[in-house]
Structure 1
């Protein structure tokens, strides 16, 4: 073998070796996030040509952000440092039990973690997630217990003139039993859809765990789409793929509330349910709390349990529909009809806190029975998941 061939072969082997070493640090070979025994977390990203890498997520202290709804709490940012192999990393302090979301910012560009395939979509933003177990966060896990079923169905809505997609959770054993069940109607917020509570809210995991622990009655949970111009979530309806928006037309003008009986009729015609007031509950977050307030008032003697999670109680120029007329009279009629639980919860730094306090004063002035829960934090899924874990055990007892 002559000297020239040896030189070519040596160069080839060096190139293969360098490529192999680089591959060791590519995304698919990097563990991120890595959860340590003390519940600290290390984030890693292979980006040898990047000038800066940050991580942003709800495990960091909040900062004030300007949004279409005004100033709200948002996730902070933290800097990662780069090693000699081009891998950026950050190790956090010990984190408390929670389901966290995060994303990376590379030279100002926000993106997901290529080493973590677990994502959630909130309106049009996709972020990675991870769980630190213990306490209430164990309710967010898929544990080795009996599981319910989640189906996406289509129902006819004469009130909206279309077939619409809906997500329904049935409790463990539903398919094999002849039992009838109570129903919780669980409503999403602005920008959400029939996928929000099941994905972001971890509804199936929460209900499975609460039922297995004997803390909640087996129940059916119905999660509709509150955007009346959609037949299904973006990517799931007849409009197929398009960018989701935070607020779309007619979401809070009374149309949804007025047509809500279509959903109840579908559920009670297609599922084994206890079709009476004592076995119906309705709850929702933000816009869904607004819908809950008005649906339960507009459809008298329909629900015995109401849950308003960070409810968007505020005056709206487009709130001109029949649903919103005679508010005080219909609210008093709801009180006089009687119910078992009117439950309101909100975080201390929620931008809707003041509006909720004003509504609470109204209820007190009417002597309308209610329960109030005040938590830390703001207008976030971290609160709404917890509210569900607190509200569901109170139902149908």
Structure 2
């Protein structure tokens, strides 16, 4: 009898443990602006299905030649986020990974990127349709203090532009290995994408920003990271230099590493800790 009771308790504990975990799912947002449906991957923390409470949100952007599943399939974001939250260093949060993939081979080509281009107003979609739809569907504390944005490479550039252009939306912004200026040297991307990057350079935006706009940018908590062997190192240093010159507080990290998923896996825990500190304010 005692053995049966022990076995039953162990089985019950296993069931409870299996149920007490985070999960990811795909959510689809129909867009009148783009004329298509756009998917995103959403990370829901342990307890989301039981608590009934609302959570802060991190919008986590992928890079060029990627899609909304990159962070989960290549970057191990679920495991990293679970571990960082379990350690007590980060708050439980919802992580939304949008899709800015191109329509060509390897997700490049037509319509790749986070900016408005002729016939494809992605940035307008992101702010007018995507964020409202996601924050209505999930229990998200939808205010500036509890909303953060981060991303790698192309997504790092999107992160910087979105926070510079819409500082009232985000409490924290964390570009990782960001594409923060025009592409250095020739790349196998179409001309429309390369032009959109040049037209939306965070370095140029920051250099030319009127003084009366800077207080808004200062209201964002900034954290910027780039590897010392990254081909985008110079634009990141230029961005850091301009932020300092324009008296905009930021934390800047340059450490050993290149433009790789192995590097970004080491950066993500720090991003989660940084944005959590902002959520707690």
Task: Normalising by structure 1, report the TM-score.
Answer: 0.56
- Label 1:322 to 1:354 Cα distance change in 2 as closer, same or farther (>3 A): closer
Partner in structure 1 of residue 257 of structure 2: 377
Q: Using the alignment, how far apart are the partners of 1:386 and 1:144 within structure 2? A: 27
Correspondence for 2:132 among 254, 265, 280: 265
- Aligned mate of 2:79, from 205, 215, 229: 205
SS in 2 for 1:259: helix
Instruction: Using the TM superposition, give the Cα deviation of residue 263 of structure 1 relative to its aligned residue in structure 2, in angstroms.
Output: 1.7
Kindly report the root-mean-square deviation, in angstroms, between the aligned alpha carbons of the 2 structures.
Answer: 2.6
Aligned to 2:115: 254
Write the deviation string for residues 95-115 of structure 1: whole angstroms up to 9, x where unpaired: xxxxxxxxxxxxxxxxxxxxx
* Shift in alpha-carbon separation, 1:322–1:313, aligned structure 2, 3 A: closer
For 1:21, the equivalent position in structure 2 comes to: none
**Of Structure 1 and Structure 2, which has the larger fraction of its residues in helix?**
2
What does residue 173 of structure 1 align with?
A: 47
Where relative contact order (Cα < 8 A, 6+ residues apart) is larger, the structure is: 2
Whether the aligned pair in 2 keeps the contact of 1:283 and 1:309 (CA below 8 Å) is yes
Deviation for aligned residue 1:149: 1.2
Q: Are positions 1:359 and 2:221 aligned together?
A: no
**Offset of 1:144 from its aligned partner?**
8.5
1:160 maps onto 2:34 in alignment: yes
* CA contact 2:56–2:146 (8 Å) conserved in 1: yes
> How many equivalent residue pairs?
242
Whole-Å Cα distance in 2 between the matches of residues 358 and 222 of structure 1?
29
The answer to whether 1:195 aligns with 2:56 is no
Matched, 1:295 2:157: no
**Does the Cα contact within 8 Å between 1:260 and 1:295 map onto a contact in 2?**
no
Residues 75-97 of structure 1 deviation map (CA, whole Å, 9 limit, x = unaligned) = xxxxxxxxxxxxxxxxxxxxxxx
Going from structure 1 to structure 2, the CA distance change for 1:257 and 1:330 (only over 3 Å counts) comes to farther
Match of 1:389 in 2: 269
Q: CA deviation at 1:357?
A: 1.0
- What residue is the counterpart of 2:176 in the other structure? 309
Q: Give distance in 1, aligned partners of 2:123 and 2:214.
A: 19
For residues 261 and 155 of structure 2, what CA distance do their matches in structure 1 show?
13
Cα-to-partner distance string for 1:206-232 (whole Å, 9 max, x where unaligned): 1111111211100000001112x55xx
Residues 183 and 346 from structure 1, CA distance in 2 versus in 1: closer, same or farther, beyond 3 angstroms?
A: same
Tell me, in whole angstroms, the C-alpha distance in 2 between the residues paired with 1:321 and 1:357.
17
SS for the counterpart of 1:364 is helix
Map Cα deviations across residues 27-53 of structure 1 (whole Å, 9 max, x no partner). xxxxxxxxxxxxxxxxxxxxxxxxxxx
Hey, what does 1:132 align to over in structure 2? none
The change in CA–CA distance for 1:250 and 1:374 in structure 2 (over 3 A counts) is same
Q: Which runs of 5+ in 2 are unaligned?
A: 1-16, 117-121, 184-193
- Aligned to 2:151, the other structure's residue is in SS state strand
Bigger Rg, which one:
1
Q: Does the 8 Å contact 2:45/2:93 carry over to 1?
A: yes
Contact 1:301 1:334 in 2 (8 A): no
Aligned equivalents of 1:331 and 1:386: distance in 2?
Answer: 36
Is 1:346 paired with 2:223? Answer: no
Q: Structure 1 253/151 Cα, relative in aligned 2: closer, same or farther at 3 Å?
A: closer
Cross-structure match for 2:106: 244
Q: Could you tell me how far 1:318 is from its partner in structure 2? A: 1.5
**Counterpart-to-counterpart distance in 1, 2:65 and 2:197:** 21
